[in-house]
Amino acid sequence: MTGAGAWDLPPLRAGYAADEALVERRARAAGSADAAERAGEAVIGGVRCLVIEPCGGDARGEMIYLHGGGYRLGSPLAYVDYAQRIADAAGRRIILPFYPLAPEHPFPAALHAVVAVYRGLDDRQSVMVAGDSAGGGLAAALCIVAGRAGEPLAGAVLVSPMLDLTARGKSLDRNAARDLMFSKAAVLDSAQLYLQGHDPCDPLVSALEADPADFPPTLVLTGSAELLLDEAVAFAGRLALADRRVTLHVAPGMGHVWPLLAPETDEAWEAISAIAGFVKALEPVGSEDSV
């Protein structure tokens, strides 16, 4: 979907068909087709996307938001209401790509797709990227390749991000009984289907291994009760030690991707407010204070 050159993307690889159980899980997690009626649709960089406009005003820029699902599940159709809350609070047009899923499309197919979306936008200087779970890992990968290509994102928002496909974090076991929406087995299954022999320590799949210099201003949101807590905290700490602009938001008692899965909680609204504040603080006409 996109060329190499300065972007230095790994070549696409052949995958294999998803089994029946995964196909059924995808159908259950895909979201309602009616959701598309509440969003616009566009093909950007050759990739189908849903587009969510903020209510009550013009968008002040664009945010690419990458859905979760362990690189093998999920759909923008399940994100329309959540994306609308972000759009309204942050004043951003939210772009939700239908990126290809594993195992049919292993690494780096999803990365090729999101790079194509980013490069397909007219004005990239103010574009931000966000994502949750595997989408957070994919957002981090986009930051890396865009930064290396000399076209960095304006900012990144990583929600409960999957940043270590080696599954080394102690919170994967420590919080196993508290985070009922996710499991260490799910992380390992995601890694197997997505990587298909690729090195799990590659920064493009495990951003915990990345050079902090590759990242724009970054907001990391994680729940204190979730399995991926340790890698999120460690990642934010690495950026801070390298004097990168980073904010860590830890929601007490919350599990995996709580702003999406527990939308009516106070903690979810606080997360949306944190995202909006981060976005607005990076805008040229906004506050110049540190986030």
Give catalytic residues, as residue numbers.
Answer: 133
Cα–Cα distance between 198 and 30 in angstroms, integer?
A: 27
Residues with Cβ within 8 Å of 93's Cβ and at least 6 positions away in sequence, in order, are: 51, 52, 53, 54, 59, 61, 62, 63, 87
What the block records as the tokens of 36 is: 């598309």
Cα–Cα distance between 133 and 53 in angstroms, integer?
A: 23
What ranges in the chain are assigned the alpha helix state H? 20-29, 80-90, 109-119, 134-148, 171-174, 184-195, 229-241, 258-261, 266-281
Q: How many residues does the chain have?
A: 291
Q: Does a cis peptide bond (omega within 30 degrees of 0) precede residue 259?
A: no
Cα–Cα distance between 232 and 230 in angstroms, integer?
A: 5
Beta-bridged to residue 168, according to DSSP, are none
Q: What are phi and psi of 62, to 5 degrees?
A: -125, 145
> What's the CA angle centered on 279, arms 273 and 282, to 5 degrees?
140
178-184's contacts with Cβ under 8 Å and 24+ in sequence apart are 178/225, 178/226, 178/255, 179/223, 179/225, 179/226, 179/227, 179/255, 179/256, 180/255, 181/255, 181/256, 181/257, 181/261, 182/133, 182/226, 182/227, 182/228, 182/255, 182/256, 183/227, 184/227
